[in-house]
């Protein structure tokens, strides 16, 4: 049973395009906010903030590989939803904590959730039956996510 069976495939694809753009843009728009939070609330030096955010960026490819692996084992929609909820929980933790350890952990785990979402979006957009059309859809989706990252 498809959880998204009531929506036509083209409408679902357009929602994925808009969502991918907004998700990617917001993911990169959050970095200045994160650096200000780490500096103002937790007293981190600029070099420490750079190290934390660089570690968060280095975690992303490994987490994306894990997300791609899990997409073939678990429903991409379930993985997508779980990763979005995990990232939201990490931002709530970052906003509510007073301890530096939890703030750094929230930044790192939030980036893992951010990275797991991307393969799920591509898995939701891909349809084996479409063949050539599916390749064009993925190319457009890749361009939209890159545009969102550049905008962010």
pLDDT, mean of each 10-residue run, the chain (152 residues): 64 82 80 87 92 90 87 83 86 88 89 83 72 75 79 72
Give me the numbers of helices (H) and strands (E) for the chain, helices first please. 5, 0
pLDDT of residue 102: 92
Instruction: Judge contact between 84 and 92, C-beta under 8 A.
Output: no
pLDDT of residue 130: 67
pLDDT of residue 1: 44
Residue the block writes with tokens 């997409």: 71
Distance (Å, whole) CA 151 – CA 1: 37
Distance (Å, whole) CA 145 – CA 139: 10
For residue 131, the SS3 value is coil
pLDDT of residue 101: 92
Who's near 23: CB < 8 A, 6+ residues apart?
A: 117, 121, 148
pLDDT of residue 44: 93
Phi/psi-derived region of residue 97, left when phi > 0, alpha when psi is between -120 and 50, beta in every other case: beta
Nearest to 107 by CA among 93, 120, 96: 93
């Amino acid at each position: 049973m498809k959880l998204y069976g009531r929506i036509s495939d083209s409408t679902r694809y357009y929602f994925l395009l808009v969502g991918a753009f907004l998700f990617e843009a917001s993911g990169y728009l959050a970095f200045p906010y994160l650096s200000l939070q780490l500096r103002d609330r937790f007293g981190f030096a600029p070099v420490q903030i750079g190290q934390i955010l660089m570690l968060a960026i280095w975690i992303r490819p490994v987490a994306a590989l894990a997300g791609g692996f899990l997409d073939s084992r678990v429903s991409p929609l379930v993985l997508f939803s779980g990763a979005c909820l995990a990232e939201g929980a990490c931002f709530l933790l970052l906003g509510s904590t007073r301890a530096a350890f939890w703030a750094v952990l929230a930044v790192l785990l939030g980036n893992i959730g951010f990275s797991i979402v991307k393969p799920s979006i591509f898995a939701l957009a891909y349809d084996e039956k479409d063949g050539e059309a599916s390749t064009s859809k993925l190319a457009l989706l890749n361009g939209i996510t890159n545009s969102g990252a550049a905008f962010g």
